[in-house]
Every structure is written in C-alpha cells, then in structure tokens.
Amino acid sequence: MLKRFLPDQYVRSIFEITPEHLKDKGVKGVITDLDNTLVAWNQAHATPMVLDWFKRMEEGGIEVTIISNNKKDRVALFSEPLNRPFVYRAKKPLKKAFIKATRAMGLKRSEVVVIGDQLMTDVFGGNRGGFHTILVVPIVATDDKATKFNRQLERRILNYFKRKGLIEWDD
C-alpha cells in the first residue's frame, strides 16, 4: 500500500528538471502542482526563476499544465499571466484532474510527468493515474492550514522509505 506514495524520482526543486532530460525520456508534457512546488503557498506570482523555467520548457517543446486543489482565483492569478492552462479544485489525489489535463494537452499518460511537493496529493494521485511522478522539496517549511495534517503523515511515510533505503530525502 505505501508504495503508492513512492515517487519515481525526487529532486530539490523544479529547476533540476530540464526539457532536455524530459525529452530524453520521451516526455512531452508536465502536470505540475502550484503551491510549494512552483512558488511558496502564499506567493501570488511567479518569480523570475520560475518564469525562466516555464520559458525553457516552452522552448524545449514541453507542454505544462498547472493543477491545484486551491480555488480558481488563486490558481488563475498565478497561471493566466503565464498563459498556462490550469485545473483548480482538482481534488487530488483523485486521478480525474490528472487525466483531464493530459487529454487537454493531447498526450498519452506515458508522455506526461507529474511534479509536486506532497506525497499525499501529488505523488499518490499521479501514481494512481499511472503517471511518472517527481517529488520536489517544498519551497517553504510552512503550509496552509489544510496541508499541515498531510505533512505529518507524509513525514512518517518518508521516514519509512528512508529506513527501507527506497528514498534519500533531506528534511
């Protein structure tokens, strides 16, 4: 059961994920979480580094869709200036929003990776949908109230994976 929470890959940040690396693996699209994956959960707009990451993905021919459990106004405020498609109130870890985003990009699941900072929503949802999952270290150590409970469970699962040698993770 816990293996459903195990990411296929883990990196310190999205900036370690390049279009060249993705294309080498046959990836044509990215579904990425927003809060604490692209920017801090309480930051409204993309940073210059995030803008550059999106630009590199676009120039590399990689489609990017933002998927979030947050409200429409929060996700639209971030996504619309980037001219990026998005799914709000995604109800992750349910797989419906992941499949919706994949279809909108016109891609197969095997051509899409899911990137996020949470095991309980992003990784579990991506794994349930049959996607390659990449876990990133959360940008900030604080979380919205709704996420705090998930983080407690997540820490226990990550510690279990570390003890079993399945993942190397820095707190």
pLDDT, tens digit, 9 for 90 and up, residues 15-74: 999 999 999 999 999 999 999 999 998 888 999 999 999 999 999 999 999 999 999 999
Task: Please indicate, yes or no, if residue 140 is contained in any of the structural domains.
Answer: yes
Angstrom distance (rounded) from CA 155 to CA 34: 20
Task: Please indicate, yes or no, if residue 130 is contained in any of the structural domains.
Answer: yes
Tokens in use for 152?
Answer: 């407690």
Task: Please indicate, yes or no, if residue 73 is contained in any of the structural domains.
Answer: yes
The per-residue pLDDT for 65 is 98
Length of the chain measured in residues:
171
Tokens in use for 96?
Answer: 């419906």
Q: Tell me the CATH number at 31.
A: 3.40.50.1000
What DSSP assignment string belongs to 136-163? E--SSS---HHHHHHHHHHHHHHHHHHH
Task: Please indicate, yes or no, if residue 100 is contained in any of the structural domains.
Answer: yes
Structurally, the chain folds into a number of domains equal to: 1
Nearest Cα neighbor of 74 from 148, 146, 154 is 146
Task: Please indicate, yes or no, if residue 170 is contained in any of the structural domains.
Answer: no
pLDDT, tens digit, 9 for 90 and up, residues 106-140: 999 999 999 999 999 999 999 999 999 999 999 88
Angstrom distance (rounded) from CA 73 to CA 76: 5
Task: Please indicate, yes or no, if residue 169 is contained in any of the structural domains.
Answer: no
